């Protein structure tokens, strides 16, 4: 009786061992769907980061230009003039 039970259990184990082709195909399809979604998100992230970088660069350049205009008009504190590369001589020459 015990021998028959062992044979029965061995047959069950052999039939359940490994993955079927259908399970593998389904898992691969799910992986492709998820990878496609992640790639779409990555494309949006790269585009947004690039846009924000350009905006930050333009904003900094605009702020620099305005500070230089104010410095030439004599409306900036004396402590900002060396940062802008404007000494007393260049401010006097600009006015």
- Centre a 10 Å sphere on the Cβ of residue 42 and count the other Cβ atoms it contains: 10
Considering the entire predicted model, what is its pTM?
0.42
Q: What angle do CA 91, 82, 77 make, to 5 degrees?
A: 70
User: Chain-wide mean pLDDT for the chain?
Assistant: 78
* pLDDT tens column, 7-38: 777 776 655 556 788 888 999 999 999 999 99
């Amino acid at each position: 009786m015990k021998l028959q039970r062992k044979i029965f259990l061995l047959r069950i184990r052999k039939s359940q061992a490994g993955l079927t082709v259908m399970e593998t195909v389904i898992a691969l399809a799910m992986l492709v769907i998820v990878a496609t979604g992640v790639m779409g998100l990555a494309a949006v992230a790269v585009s947004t980061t690039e846009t924000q970088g350009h905006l930050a660069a333009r904003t900094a350049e605009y702020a620099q230009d305005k500070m230089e205009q104010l410095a030439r008009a004599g409306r900036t504190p004396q402590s900002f003039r060396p940062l802008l590369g404007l000494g007393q001589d260049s401010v006097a020459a600009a006015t």
